[in-house]
Structures are given as C-alpha cells and as structure tokens.
A and B are shown apart, each in its own frame.
Chain A
Amino acid sequence: MTTGDTRQGPGGGGVGGSWIDEALREHDHAEAAEAARPGVGGPGVAGPRVAGPGGAEPADPRGRPVLPMAERERQVLDRIDRARRRRPRVREERITMSHGAGGKATRTLVEAVFLDAFRNPQLEPLEDAAELSMAGVRTALTTDSYVVSPLFFPGGDIGDLAVNGTVNDLAVAGATPMYLSAGFILEEGFPVADLLRVTESMRDAAAAAGVRVVTGDTKVVQRGKADGCYINTAGVGLIARDGQLGVARSRPGDAIIVSGPIGDHGVTIMLARGELDIEADIVSDTAPLNGLTARLLDAVPETRAMRDATRGGVATILNEIATAAEAGVLVREDDIPVRTEVRGACELLGIDPMYVACEGRLVAVVPGDSADRAVAALRADPLGADAAVIGHVTDGPPGIVQLKTSFGGTRIVDLLVGDPLPRIC
C-alpha cells in the first residue's frame, strides 16, 4: 500500500489544505504581535519572568527562560482566550450540517454572515426575538423554520412545534404572543392526510397559546427537493411591561433557573428516527411557555433574562449568558434536572444532556435574592413543576461556563462544535 514517497501535506491546494495554511499563518502573525506587546510574553518569549532557584533564570537550549509549568499553562489559556475573542470567520467553502447544529459553527455563521449583512440595533443583541417600537407601542417580532424529521414523534409533531417554538421565542422576550404567520414548503407526493394532521395540531397549539395564525404562504417543490413538509412561522407580540430583558444584563450573584427536566425533546427525536434501536418512555416536552413567562415576570419583575432552551440545549444558553454578561457562570451537575430515561439514553450514546434540545423549557436569570420567589412562581404552573436553581453568574473568568460535576470535579462547558456525534467506543 504505502510507499516511502511522502507528499508534502496540507497546502496542496485542496480546500482543507488552504485553510490549514491560512490558520497557521494567522497563528504566526498573532504570536509575533503578542511577542511585541510589552510585558505579555507568550510561552518561550523572553521577558521579565520568574527567576529560578538561586536567582539565575533557568534557560532552554535557545537561551529563553523556562517558566514553571502552571504559569506556562496560564499563559497558554490567556492566549486561547484572546484567540476566541477574535472576529469570527466562516472558513468552510460550503455549508455543512454543523452550521445548523446550534453550536460554534452556527454562531460563526450568524455573526460573520447574517449579522455582518444586516447589522442594526434591533438585530445586534441576537436575542430570541427583536424588540421594535412602532408608533410608541413596544412589540416583539420573531421567526423560525421547522424541518424536524420525523414529522410525527411521541409527544407532538412538526405542527405544534412550529407554533410553540415561535410563541416561546416571543414569550421569553417578555412579550405577549398575539399573531403568527405560517409558511409551508411541501414536497410533491406529501399525503394530504398528514398535512391535515399537522394543521390540526397547529390549530390546537395556537388555541392553547392564545394566538391566531393570521397569514400564510404555500409552496410545493418537486419530489426529492424537500423532506415532506417544512414550516416557517413568524410571530408578533406586545410588550406591555416596563423594563428590559437580555442576557447581557446578568450580574455576578444572579441565579440561573431552569423550568424543568432538560433534553426530553432532543432524545425523543433521536430515538424516534429509529436508527439507534433504543426504546424508552420519553416524549417531547413541546409546550407553549407564555403562561410560565407571564407568571415569572409577575412574581419577579426584576428578572434579568429568559431564554427557551432549544437547539444547542441549556449549555448553549449558559455560554450566551457568560459571553454577553462578560462574567463567569458556575452550575452544579447535581442540581440540573434530567429524567432518568434521558440520562440513560445519553449515557449509552455518549451525548451530554446539557447540549440536547428542549422545546418547552425556560432558562431564566434572576437576581440572587429573588431566586426562591422565582422558583416558587414557576413551580405553581404544571409546566414548571420541576423548576430548579442550577447555578449562578460569578465573577470567575469572563465568558467561561464551569460545571461542578456530580463526581466533585470542575470542568468547562463550552459551546458545541457541530452536531453531538455519538462516540464510537
């Protein structure tokens, strides 16, 4: 098979090669810039550093001072921190599935492509819904597309998902959801009976959430150009309260609350696809959250922010809190509610429930001394019966989410890279 002949690796002109070269060039450039900064030496960069025993600086063969292990590690961490703050760029030449998975690639795409193109004060906070003021009336506007497969799953279908998801994006913006639009992209050959099932659940979900579907659109594409049925919904709501919500308002000492067990929807869908040959009694948690958010805002008007934990799961929201507030976040694994069935499925698949999507779970940030009141308010609603404080905003390293594990150790909870892939062994 292999010969002694060695091709010089990346750089050979392919897509992958060119970005590796580019990444390395950027790295060299950043390192040189860093070395030039007074007092901020990267590892192995000469500068006033800790003297070794006896006052003489220990030196590596090139005469550069060798730092204690812990300090060198600290410097590398700082360097990574600076690299992470650089403006995101989409390196890929084509869209991959990672761009839609809700993790780092999605964030990069949104910031580098969409935010760049459309930048304006309403869009910039990148909240679940935009806040608009029209003729002095505060409203919220949001939109979301639904491409779930399978279309029907335990606990719901694409129809109630399409209504609840958009209702929830408005609700967590502090708005009362009012009107929805619905756009359908249907594949040639899609059974009308299925479409009726979907529209019936949309009707029921809209009734339950107290909203109306007031406008819509229909497109049909050729067989093979879509997966049965895609739905887009947009929604508007009224913001009747004073004050602002937003994860950037979070402060050290604030409590972080989830409204119930996490990961139900994502695991239900994974199992419903039937690829895993695992069966479990789990149903999607899809539900409208506007009742719950109204209760919370009534009881705790000083609430800093709310988010619904969809794609990317609770972990993604925690990272958004830490990044936007430029603060640390510390959560305790023991306090995060996860159903045993969901934990079991995640353990089997090597997936972390913190990254698994929910469709009816709220994450709220409230001032620390309002936490008990907030939890009590949420628990008064059946949808929030298992609400719990899972952690706090801290004055720890800004932008970093730390988890105290059940085992008693500490680790980072970062944004996900791409889809959660099952580990092979």
Chain B
Amino acid sequence: MRFVDEFRDADQARALAAKIAALCEPGRQYKLMEVCGGHTHTIYKHGLEDYLPESVTLVHGPGCPVCVIPMGRVDDAMHLASRDDVIMTSFGDMMRVPGSSGSFFDAKASGTDIRMVYSPLDSLKIARQNPDRQVVFMAIGFETTAPSTAMTMLRASAEGLRNFSVFCNHVTIIPAIKAILDSPDLRLDGFIGPGHVSTVIGCRPYEFIARDYRKPVVVAGFEPLDILQSIYMLMLQLSSGRCEIENQYSRVVPWDGNTVALRAIGETMELRPYFEWRGLGFISHSALRVREKYAAMDAELLFSVPGVRVADPKACQCGEVLKGVLKPWECKVFGTACTPETPIGTCMVSPEGACAAYYNYGRVERHRVPEAVVAGSAAVVEP
C-alpha cells in the first residue's frame, strides 16, 4: 500500500541497523527515551527492537494520553456521567481506564449513559439530538487532541448550542519532559521527540532540552523506519558530541507548528496553575482548562465535581514506568495481577501504554537481526 509500505521496508531497516551498530562505542550504553506512546506502540507492534544493538535501550516516556490521567479525575468524570441530565461522550481509549470504582465500560454496563465517539464533533451531533440533556465530552490528550476539542467548542459556540460542555483534562508535553529531565532517577542520552504533538507545537519548544540539558532531540514520525532513522540521527549526534533539535518528521511537522491550531487552543483554553499527572505527581502549568469566556462550556463549573485526589493502588508502579525508571515487566504486578483484561494501572489500558504494548506484542524473546550485533560485544550485565 502506497505511503505505508515504503516506511516499513525491511531492507532499509537492516541497512539502518548496521549503521546504528557501527556508531556504538564499545562499552558505552545508550538510553534513548521515546516520549510518545504512539512511538512505543509502533516499536512493539513492528518488533523494532530486533534491529537495535544490545547497548541501545529504548526507554518509554510519559506521552500516552490516557496513562497520565490520575484516578481522581476518572472518578470526577464518573461522577459527572452518573447524573441523569448528562450524556458523557468519550474516546474509546478512555473507556477501560479504571477509576476507584470501575471504568466507563463498567458504568455503561450498569446503565450510565456513556457513549464512545470517534471525534469530539460527534458529541455535537448527540447534543443536537438530545436538547434537554447536557452532553459532556471527556477531553483528554496532549496538544495533539486539544485542537479538535477547541474547534468543537468554537463550532458549538457559533451554533449557539447550549447543552454541550467539556470536562477538560488536556495536558501539555513540555512540563512533563522537564519533570523527567529533572528527575534524579534517570540518566538519558537523548529523546525521540513526539511527532503528532510537534505538528501542533512545532520543534522550537524543545530547544531548551539541547541548550540547558545538553541532550539531543529528534522529532520522529510513527512508521517503524521513521523511528529507526531517528535513532540513527540521535546516534550520529551522540557520536559527534552534538546536541541539537532535529526534525526527522519534516513531511508533517513544520518547525513553527500549526498556528491555526495553536490559536484555537489559545482562544478556548488556558493553562491551569497545576495539575496532577499519574505517577509524576503535581506539575505546575502542565494542563489546560476552559477559558472564562467559554465558562458555559466548562463542565467543571456547570456541575460540581468531587475533585478528590485518589492514591494509586500501592502495588501499582505506573509512575516509575511512565518516567522510564522501570521497564514494564519490572513492575511487581505486571502480567499477573495487572493484565490488559484486568488493568490496575493506566499503562496497561491504552494500546499506547508501555505495559499494554509490551504485554500484547513484546512478551517474547527477541531475535536480533545480524546487522544489529556490535562486533566484539558480549552479553551485558546490568550493574
């Protein structure tokens, strides 16, 4: 299929694997974080790690939209949804995320009116069909999905629709990356930058990573060759001692982002002073709320939500996984108490969550391609 197969070509992958292996300095370990959950999904779905030398480790980052939603916010959403005068709409990904008393799917099975939508605009259709009920859209995601929420609000406002509102949980990626860079637990060599987020925010916001933290960033596309090429670009930078922001995904990502989308977000939403992230705790200026001008569409103002912080189950180590400190399988409950069918933590829910990706696709001994074997390397024992 055109525009897909070109980016999954095994011959090109082998050639890149050989180039990456050739850049590995003997005895040096490379830890690269793919920030975005979409990348994690691609890496496991296509078996990309088979092309990497033993000394290059991919660390999965916090860029999975449903993974970072704290349990208390899920409970708040459930509280809203349980009102008789509310129809809750949500992306499919969100349906299985556990709150402290079950998920949207469980609530739906008990009669709560929760409907899955493919686009926030579908919520407007439902609002038009149900004029005497309030349709609340469970807005989640990074800068990738925030513009579509913003455009939906603008459309609702233009139509004068009075029964549509948003429970806003949009988050922004830069503060999360900064939190990881400031975390003492983790030593990273570079970042595979999020592709879809960057189509909106551009590459400029990452410049501080190279300037202040001396780490290279390569913004990458979502096909396996995109990611492999980005790893090669990072390795080139590392081998020549450079740290720069590079754009591998230039066919989609403009350096300055999408100003129309940014303007729509800016018109309808503003930064919250602080927001809780699952596993990362409270991060200041890391999330968006509805602007006062659109208060009539802010579900948090229209209805009161409990707003109570709910601690994760003690055994759940999603936080460590989201920060890249633990590999999914290193979590105490991975695959036994916590599985995709009975997820305890969010990382096991979304296909972009590192735990779900590893459980569904990666739970197998790796068959490294010969090109990825670094000459003279022996099995490496973790210190």
Residues of A near any B CB (own CB < 8 A): 1-17, 19-20, 23-24, 26-27, 30-31, 43, 52-53, 66, 68-70, 72-74, 76-77, 79-80, 83, 91-98, 104-105, 108, 275-276, 340, 343-344, 347, 350, 397, 400, 402, 405-412, 414, 417-419, 421-425
Interface centre among A108, A343, A409, A421 (most CB of B within 10 A): A409
Q: Are A16 and B122 in contact (CB under 8 A)?
A: no
Do A405 and B307 have beta carbons less than 8 Å apart? no
Q: Which residues of A contact B60 (CB under 8 A)?
A: none
Q: Which of B48, B110, B382 is A69 in contact with, Cβ under 8 Å?
A: B382
Across the interface, A424 reaches (CB within 8 A) one of B105, B145, B308, B380, namely B145
Expressed in whole angstroms, the Cα–Cα distance for A14 and B74 within the complex equals: 14
Are B381 and A27 in touch, CB under 8 angstroms?
no
B100 touches A9 (CB 8 A): yes
- Which of A97, A105, A411 has the most chain B CB atoms inside 10 A of its CB? A411
Is B34's CB within 8 Å of the partner chain A?
no
Contact A421 B335 (CB under 8 A): no
- CB<8 Å pairs between A and B, sample of 17: A1-B305, A10-B313, A17-B101, A20-B313, A68-B379, A69-B382, A70-B379, A80-B334, A83-B339, A94-B109, A105-B341, A407-B48, A408-B47, A409-B224, A411-B47, A421-B351, A425-B142
Chain A residues, CB < 8 A from B5: 406
Check B303 for interface membership: any CB of A closer than 8 A: no
Apart from A14-B101, A408-B10, A414-B359: 11 A-B pairs, beta carbons within 8 A: A2-B308, A6-B309, A9-B312, A16-B101, A16-B103, A20-B313, A53-B381, A70-B379, A76-B334, A94-B106, A97-B105
- Check A23–B338 contact: CB distance below 8 A: yes
Choose from B72, B344, B367 the contact partner of A2 (Cβ within 8 Å). Answer: B72
Give chain B residues whose Cβ lies under 8 Å from the Cβ of A275. 118, 122
- On chain A, the residues within 8 Å of B47 by CB distance are 405, 407-411
Are B382 and A66 touching (Cβ within 8 A)?
yes
Chain B's closest residue to A16 (CB) is: B102
CB distance from A281 to the nearest CB of B (A): 15
| Chain B minimum-CB-distance residue to A352 | B45
Residues in chain A near residue B45, CB distance under 8 A: 405, 411
Chain B 87-98: CB-based contact to A (< 8 A → 1; otherwise 0): 000011111101
Partner among B91, B330, B336 whose Cβ is within 8 Å of the Cβ of A80? B336
Q: Are B335 and A12 in contact (CB under 8 A)?
A: no
B311 x A424 contact (CB < 8 A): no
Bound complex: CA of A16 vs CA of B339, how far in Å? 14
Nearest residue (CB) in B for A418 is B96
* A108-B364 in contact (CB<8A): no
Is residue B108 contacting chain A, with contact meaning CB distance below 8 A?
yes
Contact with A along B299-322 (1 / 0, CB 8 A): 010000101111111010000000
In the complex, chain B residues whose CB is within 8 Å of the CB of A53: 381
B108 is contacted by which of A3, A74, A96 (Cβ under 8 Å)?
A: A96
Chain B residues with CB below 8 A from A17, complex form: 100-101
Interface size class of B (residues with CB under 8 A): 35 or more
> Shortest CB–CB separation between residue B312 and chain A, in angstroms?
6
Q: Are A7 and B309 in contact (CB under 8 A)?
A: yes
Within the complex, which residue of A1, A15, A97, A423 is in contact with B352, where a contact is CB–CB below 8 Å? A423
Knowing A7-B311, A19-B342, A276-B118 are in contact, say whether A408-B95 is a contact too (CB < 8 A).
no
A406 touches B340 (CB 8 A): no
B338-383 with Cβ < 8 A to chain A: 338-342, 344, 350-352, 359-367, 369, 379-382
- Is B351 in contact with A350, judged by CB distance below 8 angstroms? yes
Question: Measured between C-beta atoms, what is the minimum distance from A267 to chain B in Å?
Answer: 14
- Chain B residues within CB distance 8 Å of chain A: 1, 4-5, 8-10, 13-14, 38, 41, 44-51, 65-66, 71-72, 91-96, 98-103, 105-106, 108-110, 116, 118, 122, 140-142, 144-145, 196, 224-225, 276, 300, 305, 307-313, 315, 327, 329-330, 332-342, 344, 350-352, 359-367, 369, 379-382
Bound-state CA distance A411–B47 (Å) is 5
Cα distance, A10 to B98, chains bound together (Å): 10
Checking B51, B100, B307, B379 against A12 with a beta-carbon cut-off of 8 angstroms, the contacting residue is B100
B9 contacts which chain A residues (CB < 8 A)? 407
A83 vs B102: C-alpha distance in the bound complex, in angstroms? 22
Does A5 contact B308, Cβ atoms closer than 8 Å? Answer: yes
**A151–B9 CA distance with the chains assembled, in angstroms:** 41
Measured in the bound complex, the distance between the Cα atoms of B13 and A13 in whole Å is 51
Q: If A80-B363, A105-B341 touch, does A425 touch B38 (CB 8 Å cutoff)? A: yes
| Shortest distance from the beta carbon of A400 to any chain B beta carbon, whole Å | 7
CB-CB under 8 A from B144, the residues of chain A are: 425
Q: Give bound CA distance, A404 to B26, whole Å.
A: 30
Does B196 contact A425, Cβ atoms closer than 8 Å? yes
Cα A308 to Cα B303 in complex, Å, equals: 50
Closest to B111 in A: A94
Residues of B close to A66: CB separation below 8 A? 382
Please, which residue of chain B has its CB at the minimum distance from the CB of A13?
B101
Q: Shortest 10 CB-CB distances between A and B: which pairs?
A: A409-B47, A14-B101, A421-B92, A80-B335, A408-B10, A16-B102, A27-B337, A23-B337, A411-B361, A94-B109
Hey, which chain B residues are within 8 Å of A12, CB to CB? 100-101
* Complex-state Cα separation, A6 to B360, whole angstroms: 33
Partner of B365 from A13, A24, A74, A92 at Cβ < 8 Å: A74
Report the minimal beta-carbon distance from B281 to chain A, rounded to whole angstroms: 12
